[in-house]
Structure 1
Amino acid sequence: MQPYQLTITETARLFRLGDLSPVELMDSVLDRIEALDGLVGAFATVTAERARSAAVRAEHALVNGVDLGLLHGIPMGVKDIVDTAGVLTTSGSAVRADHVPTADAEVVRRLADAGALLVGKTHTHEFAYGLITPTTRNPWNLAHIPGGSSGGSAAAVAAGLAQFAIGTDTGGSIRVPAALCGVVGLKPTYGSVSRHGVTPLAWSLDTVGPITRSVADAGHVLSAISSPLPVLTSDVRGLTVGIPVNHFFDRVAPDVATVVHRMAGLLMDAGAEVREVTVPDTTVIGPVFWTLITSEASAYHEEVLRTKGALYQPDVHALLEQGQQVTAVDYVKAQRVRAYLKEQWKALFADIDVLISPTVASTAPLVGQTNVAWHGSTEDVTAMLLRLTCAANVTGQPALSVPCGLGDDALPVGIQVTGRPFTEDTVLRVGHVLEQVSELTAHTPVLVGS
């Protein structure tokens, strides 16, 4: 195994044994970026010189007994809507083509304090307003999309171009690309991670979180940017796992559904109680979500859209114009229904610890694909990609995507674990067990493994 393929946990152990150095790891990662990012397109900006210098300092510190913890010397990518002092941060848009922040976002500051080293800014769908990330390709098969809007972050981790990356999630933008690229993606509880210095998409839905190669790594990163977590265990005995009989398996590809149901059976074998549940009021989740995101995004972009509208990409421009048509009455009604949905989900989770489901209804669509066929009907690709993830943004609950197998097309399938608010420890615990019994064990896809 090459250094760029290691998890954070594995790397930290080798650093402290003296079998690997931060400089050796950084060289491995930067060589990988130079060789493959021309194909994958994960990075908007690569900070190679800065990263190499930081690795030398990190190595010197370890040699002299200064150890900042498990993230010390670990290369990371940061989504291009998250501010990094002195480093171009464009939000994937010509609107901010020359924007260089003067200060780090809070999440970047905390990661730097924990010893993580920036290797570059990862591509995002423009202003994080999309599920495609057209600049980037899926490392498992370059003919397919990586998902979005944190597509560059997920592709970078999957291809071995960074050991972890930071993404944002407003309707599934961490979990969707994590599922499609075969890596781990965590959307923490709303409000548990600072959004200071992060360009907003929709203020009441936005969340910042990690994309990693393992569930344990997700816990390590979350501990640095939020609250410390207890050590993960491989024991799910005593936990009650809900598996939905409605909505989350409607219009889902058979190979995806098969993987998820098999994982449910393996959780039962591991000692969890698995029970079928009915998710309440699923027909209003989508309308509430779309009302909130379109109106809040349009409010943020209102002035710039009026003065620099021609600089936006057509798909984002159209969405911003659509949001201007949402009335204040519609927005207030959506927030009222949202409050009702939160209460309904609170009641649902009174009897279960986590809910498991597919993260995405299919494996990664092809580049340029606009629709998905479902037994005589079709669905817009973007609508399909976020249909199963946006509920956790509406309710604010933590949700984790874990790679748990391959579909019939040899592309990754992700399973979503949703928990009660502020129970990331339980969500990660279940994900850790799923990861251990999963068939998907490779850290990097074969396609770019040469």
Structure 2
Amino acid sequence: MADAYVKRRGPRRRTIVLTVAGVLLAGVTAAAVALWPAPEVSEISGEEVLNYHDDSVRSQALAQLAGMNLQAVRAAGEKVVNKDAPSLQQAVAAGELSYEEITAVYLERIAHIDQAEGGINSVTAINPHAMDAARAADHDRAQATYTGQIIPPLFGLSVLLKDNISTADMPTSAGTLALSEFQPAHNAPLVDALNGAGAIILGKAAMSELAGFLSASAPAGYSGKHGQTHNPFGPRTFSPLGSSTGSAVSVAASMATVSVGTETSGSIVAPAAANSVVGFTPSHGAIDADGVIPLAAALDTVGTMGRTVADAVAVHNAAVGVDKQLPTELDAQALLGRRIGIVARGDEELEAPAKDALRHAGAEVVDIELDSAGIDVAGVVESNFAADYADYAQRYDAPVTSLRELVRFNNADPQRRARYGQGFLEDAAERSPQPEATAATIDQATELLRTTLQEHQLDALVVYDNGLAELAGAAGAPQITVPYGAEDSGRPHGLSFIVSPGADAEAVSFAHAFEAAGGARLEPRAYLRDLAGGAGS
């Protein structure tokens, strides 16, 4: 379900600029974070410009806009682009926008920016009922206002779903060409929950094929169904990272208000950091993962992305039952007096700005050392993928019933169907579950996290970008990444908070407090302006 198995390589020094409560902190160096099994992250991403849709996504978006004045839609973009969910709801309440206009702005941007020649290619399908749902939301809001009903935070706002989440009105492929026309008979429960909360399912976000467990040489964001998704801060220069690439890129570039992704070990937090958005992976099982094409069900976790911590929480709350919802009143003072452990890299230039921001928010900062290299997440995926996929295929009546069948399909046209090889898939297809080894890995990670927090008397761990994603993923612990400025080259970074399993409310509170103190989310405006000639950017 997610892919990013993180390993650190040698340091590559870059200057990071971070603002803490209006104070500019510079001169920070960043160690490069490499994504396994994807190639090492560098200034050269190894990506090609590939869009396999032949204008179909653009056509789907424009079909939804039939009869609308596109010039007026673009003009409304100034009130929509780069706005968080509360700002949009306030604009609707004030009569400045309608849900129809908000949805139309995103569809127009998908058609003319995301899917333009040289576009970032983050969206792989459009919901054919999106505009109808938006117009219905306008009607329902008028009725609710008249009767005094409370409007849910995500009501009428656009959500993109990662393309491994089952939807009855759009294909669900996990990025593989073999499933490109597979349309499940029913939605994943989380989709029904979002619909029930009044959210507009705008479409499907692109992803790394099979959540990255296809080939060691495939760039992050590539799939045989969709092509290559690019980081809007530096297309073909900075990797989009992770497997929830489209989910992160689309939010960063204002193709939707928020998105849903999935994670096994870093596939939400890695692209969130790389694209300067908030990525929240809750405790394992917090959001129902039924109906999600799996990697390893024992680890796979559904999570959310937004421009702010509050937006990510709003999506989470819309996707879960009432008893699992998190507090919506986030405390900007949540770090006050809390003991936070930073996993040190031995580079004070790298660590100083984050420490300063945390201290500014009132936290006590402690340097710690932690080695999670022995946690074999890849082994868990390799041994469980075939059985877990077969179970999904049987329950959702997928046309490809096994990984072996998928390997054979790809081998019939490897240049098109397995452009970068399929070594991981071939190995996984021949493996069978090892429940004792899986349980041992989970126990090892859970105990390492527990003892680290206990021995150092910590309220949370903080790591740079997606470090320790394998520890949090295997332990089923919540982790949330908050934008943390950028290098002088423009490549964004994030800071991730990890807490004990079940302590999701603390994770989002700590992240919100850091967000309030740091305020370092970036916008990819220069790229969008260059591509679209200024429209909507």
TM norm structure 2 = 0.72
Q: 1:307 aligns with which of 405, 419, 426?
A: 405
1:241/1:389 CA distance change after superposition, 3 Å: same
For 1:408 and 1:444, locate their aligned partners in 2 and report how far apart those are by CA, in whole Å. Answer: 14
Partner of 1:365: none
- Shift of the alpha carbon at 1:55? 0.9
For 1:441 and 1:241, locate their aligned partners in 2 and report how far apart those are by CA, in whole Å. Answer: 22
2:272–2:494 contact (8 Å) kept in structure 1 = yes
Is 1:140 the counterpart of 2:219? The answer is no
Amino acid in the other structure paired with 1:57: A
For 1:159 and 1:146, locate their aligned partners in 2 and report how far apart those are by CA, in whole Å. Answer: 12
1:94–1:311 contact (8 Å) kept in structure 2 = no
Q: Report matched runs for 1:25-424 at 5 Å.
A: 25-38=102-115, 39-47=119-127, 49-65=128-144, 67-130=150-213, 132-134=220-222, 135-143=228-236, 144-226=238-320, 227-230=324-327, 231-235=329-333, 236-245=335-344, 249=345, 258=349, 260-279=351-370, 282-285=372-375, 288-301=376-389, 304-312=402-410, 313=418, 317-323=422-428, 332-333=436-437, 335-350=439-454, 351-360=457-466, 388-424=468-504
- Shift of the alpha carbon at 1:68? 4.2
For 2:526 and 2:517, locate their aligned partners in 1 and report how far apart those are by CA, in whole Å. Answer: 20
1:314/1:442 CA distance change after superposition, 3 Å: closer
1:77–1:153 contact (8 Å) kept in structure 2 = yes
- Shift of the alpha carbon at 1:327? 7.3
**3-state SS of 1:185 partner:** strand
1:260–1:357 contact (8 Å) kept in structure 2 = no
1:140–1:448 contact (8 Å) kept in structure 2 = no
Identity %: 27
- Shift of the alpha carbon at 1:429? 1.5
1:8–1:163 contact (8 Å) kept in structure 2 = yes
1:72–1:115 contact (8 Å) kept in structure 2 = yes
- Shift of the alpha carbon at 1:202? 0.9
2:404–2:426 contact (8 Å) kept in structure 1 = no
For 2:520 and 2:409, locate their aligned partners in 1 and report how far apart those are by CA, in whole Å. Answer: 41
After superposition, give the CA deviation of every residue in 1:235-287 in whole Å (9 maximum; x if it has no partner). Answer: 02121111123xxx38xxx7xx84554122221122111112232x52312xx
For 2:293 and 2:203, locate their aligned partners in 1 and report how far apart those are by CA, in whole Å. Answer: 17
For 1:347 and 1:167, locate their aligned partners in 2 and report how far apart those are by CA, in whole Å. Answer: 29
For 1:337 and 1:105, locate their aligned partners in 2 and report how far apart those are by CA, in whole Å. Answer: 28
Amino acid in the other structure paired with 2:492: P
1:53/1:29 CA distance change after superposition, 3 Å: same
Q: Which moved more, 1:219-228 or 1:232-241?
A: 219-228
**3-state SS of 1:267 partner:** helix
Structure 1 stretches of 4+ moved >6 Å: none
1:21/1:67 CA distance change after superposition, 3 Å: farther
Q: 1:10 aligns with which of 87, 105, 113?
A: 87
- Shift of the alpha carbon at 1:324? 5.3
1:185–1:209 contact (8 Å) kept in structure 2 = yes
**3-state SS of 1:243 partner:** strand
- Shift of the alpha carbon at 1:444? 4.6
Aligned length, in residue pairs: 411
After superposition, give the CA deviation of every residue in 1:51-109 in whole Å (9 maximum; x if it has no partner). Answer: 11111111111111265411111011011110111211122112212101121111111
Amino acid in the other structure paired with 1:207: T
- Shift of the alpha carbon at 1:315? 5.3
For 2:249 and 2:354, locate their aligned partners in 1 and report how far apart those are by CA, in whole Å. Answer: 24
Amino acid in the other structure paired with 1:141: G
Partner of 2:512: 432
Partner of 2:68: none
1:184/1:445 CA distance change after superposition, 3 Å: farther
The structure carrying a bigger helix percent of its residues is: 1
Amino acid in the other structure paired with 1:318: G
- Shift of the alpha carbon at 1:436? 2.4
For 2:132 and 2:351, locate their aligned partners in 1 and report how far apart those are by CA, in whole Å. Answer: 44
After superposition, give the CA deviation of every residue in 1:187-207 in whole Å (9 maximum; x if it has no partner). Answer: 110111101111111111100
Q: Which runs of 5+ in 1 are unaligned?
A: 361-386
Amino acid in the other structure paired with 1:322: D
- Shift of the alpha carbon at 1:184? 0.7
- Shift of the alpha carbon at 1:356? 0.5
2:380–2:437 contact (8 Å) kept in structure 1 = no
**3-state SS of 1:166 partner:** strand
Partner of 2:33: none
Is 1:22 the counterpart of 2:128? The answer is no
For 1:399 and 1:414, locate their aligned partners in 2 and report how far apart those are by CA, in whole Å. Answer: 12
Amino acid in the other structure paired with 2:359: M
**3-state SS of 1:238 partner:** coil
Partner of 1:374: none
- Shift of the alpha carbon at 1:358? 0.7
1:75/1:33 CA distance change after superposition, 3 Å: same
Higher relative contact order (CA 8 A, sep 6+): 2
After superposition, give the CA deviation of every residue in 1:34-58 in whole Å (9 maximum; x if it has no partner). Answer: 11112010111122x5211111111
Q: Which moved more, 1:342-351 or 1:34-43?
A: 342-351
For 1:206 and 1:442, locate their aligned partners in 2 and report how far apart those are by CA, in whole Å. Answer: 29
Amino acid in the other structure paired with 2:377: F
For 2:433 and 2:85, locate their aligned partners in 1 and report how far apart those are by CA, in whole Å. Answer: 46
- Shift of the alpha carbon at 1:440? 2.5
For 1:23 and 1:337, locate their aligned partners in 2 and report how far apart those are by CA, in whole Å. Answer: 48
